[in-house]
Amino acid sequence: MIERYAAFTDSPAGGNPAGVVLDASELTDPRMLEIAAELGYSETAFVTERDGDRYRVRYFSPLAEVPFCGHATVATAVALGPGDHLFVTNAGEVPVTVDTSGTATLTSVPPAVAELPEADLAALLGALRWDAGELDPELPPRVAYAGAYHPVLAVTSRERLAGLDYDVPALKALMTGRGWTTVQLVFRDGPDTFDVRNPFPVGGVYEDPATGAAAAAFGGYLRGLGLVADDAVLHLRQGDDMGRPSRITVRLVAGSPGVRVSGRAVPMG
């Protein structure tokens, strides 16, 4: 049975829709990809094995399998119900806790941050139709990882973020060549508050309304560059420009390498 949830929201009209298949043990890879394409959501999660509270979970976009997906993890965990769950993903083990209010908190695999080569930055800016002078010098371009790879670009203007209009073939080709899952585009609205957008052409989707994997990677980026405290709670707003508001909470805990990402999920009917 295919279930449909909206993640990182209290309303079915907000957040990022995800398909959830809690028993995919008999589905082939082509069939899982076909289901994901039929749904048309940025990702659908498939539970292919279960051993107690340990679950083998795979994620498919309409075009390809992805190693990890945060919003579909939140949706799947909420569908499973309150308690502690361990998801075994292509990126590694991801613990997820669900409380009685329907809020799920995942802990990412250890994050990493790498330089974004100048040639890749130039190509990325070209595909986005952005100018280097619009970038925020306080949040330097990097490639961040917490289960999937996401280049991080921050701008000084909320209006520039709102006016997203990228070259789809060019960005898709660049992301495919570099193994990037989404692009984390950022505007810092305060010390712990950020507006973000995530193009996802490699998945067959123009943009994600909420991207938990990128949120985890961004938390690792901020901590790795010393831009926030080792103990920090961050608030990410996403999806507003798409008419699907999403709210993502990122928590960094000193001494814990994984990044905690929290949000609610609700059935879409």
**Taking 90 as the threshold, does the pLDDT of residue 61 lie above it?**
yes
- Do domains 2-100 and 112-267 share one topology? The answer is yes
CATH of 2-100, one of 3.40.1400.10, 3.40.630.30, 3.90.1150.10, 3.10.310.10: 3.10.310.10
Indicate the pTM of the whole model: 0.96
Please report which confidence band the pLDDT of residue 4 belongs to, taking 50, 70 and 90 as the band edges.
very high
DSSP H/E element including 216: helix 212-224
Token look-up 């449909």 returns: 4
Please report which confidence band the pLDDT of residue 80 belongs to, taking 50, 70 and 90 as the band edges.
very high
Q: What percent of the chain has pLDDT over 70?
A: 100
Catalytic residue among 3, 26, 38, 43: 43
**Taking 90 as the threshold, does the pLDDT of residue 27 lie above it?**
yes
What is the overall mean pLDDT for the chain?
Answer: 97
**Taking 90 as the threshold, does the pLDDT of residue 56 lie above it?**
yes
Domain ranges of the chain: 2-100, 112-267
The stretch 131-145 carries a mean pLDDT of 98
CA 31 – CA 262 distance, rounded (Å): 30
- 42 in Cβ contact with 35 (< 8 Å): no
State yes or no: is 118 an active-site residue: no
**Taking 90 as the threshold, does the pLDDT of residue 140 lie above it?**
yes
Strand boundaries in 92-204, DSSP class E: 92-98, 103-107, 112-115, 142-145, 149-155, 184-190, 193-200
**Taking 90 as the threshold, does the pLDDT of residue 194 lie above it?**
yes
pLDDT, position 95:
98
CA 177 – CA 157 distance, rounded (Å): 29
* Encoded tokens for 115: 């330089």
Please report which confidence band the pLDDT of residue 269 belongs to, taking 50, 70 and 90 as the band edges.
confident
CA 246 – CA 198 distance, rounded (Å): 12
pLDDT, position 89:
98
The stretch 225-239 carries a mean pLDDT of 96
Q: Which fold has domain 112-267?
A: Diaminopimelate Epimerase; Chain A, domain 1 (3.10.310)
